[in-house]
A and B are shown apart, each in its own frame.
Chain A
């Protein structure tokens, strides 16, 4: 804190602000005593209230001749108040400053013309929507461009397999796959369980209890298993990839890689993509099993079905294609998760705050992409009776 002390004998125990409006004289704010940051809030509100009625063309002096000491924080506020008055067309000047206080005024630029600050015009709703739309398409363009670069890097890797960062694949598979098993098991079991309950309530009315197995089996293998597992991986691995690469970006590690002749996409993105494309189908299979197990528990406990009967019905309803179509989805979902998270990580600027922003953006974008892709798959399979 900058503090200027003058005339110790003149120091008063408290700061005092007086607003005088003597007829025919200039208005004055008299600042007295020791003006420290502790009493700044009071000074701030008193000056603001007292000067609220001033109009354009009025003048007012900030008389500091009686001030014993002023610290930096208080001076900053006084200079800001002077600027606020100037913005309203009221001319305000510091007067009677002893040399040390004059130096402090100068330090905080309180002795130069306070110019009217231009207030930033609030953006209209239309402009906001327009900007957000442009940003959205720029993001899509960024992801597509990144996908193109990844394809080129993959071809380059096929030509020169020696240059691949193969040893990063297994640890990434472990982090993204093995470590995610408990949460995948739990979430998918609960999804199957809840769906079984909801279905049972309806199916009971028609005496079609057994068809809970069909409902759960088909929904889980075709839709919910791949989707829920991908969403879990989006939250775990997608966010982690974006944060990790984002941190590398802001600490110039990506630039360092490039200047060492390593293609960052080949070295950092492809191993992550390959790892996810290998583990997500496996996790999806596990998720499918857990979802059906959840339905089975409901079937046995609430609907009076037998273990064998439930399994037989599931076997009848769920074909290999149903499971396989889910696995196809999961491979595409894995590509989407790795591409979008890595692209967001690579686009990070602005330090730690930028890393956080991009991590959030990556999770949101991935979720959006997963839903769109899932809808696309459903329509495609439906159109071709698959």
Chain B
């Protein structure tokens, strides 16, 4: 079976600081992967390298068989990789519906024509339906900068899915959200994403969420992968418990 995403031997250093060392990750189509690790372990660096925000110092990234290692973000996005951000990256002064409209317009080959109106009734309907799938349709006409954090996080993912990516990377989808809301947000997210049959890789600190949603877990420590496999095995691994779960939460795994 050929991997959808295949990252091999990725290294990244910022001067003397090594953010990634010899990272190998293969992702098969249809997987839901949880990425864990303490702060600074290299999780976001990995996401940033795959999506072209950072260029690896060495190593290769192949997506659907094609080498995408040094492509800029927009070229990678056009090939079918989407991402969300730890701090939601939305258009603050535009409404939630307008945020989706921008995404739809950019994704549509004819959308960037200088003459086609931005807010045609059919596209607005499509945009509202997208928000509906993520359970935030009620916030459609509010400016994004005024939305609660949980809604902004969902909006961030919603606009990333407009292009129907084959692989979606979610960087801490539940960070900054209250403990009570975390599961609700993750549940909405995963339902919306499963409907679109997208392969998901999410970075997460909450081991309960990882245990519940991930079909496979990858643990990072000090810039490299220290464990990779089924959740029970990885979450039980002695190294993972010492370096990841212990350091991150100071309590035993659920």
Do they bind each other?
no
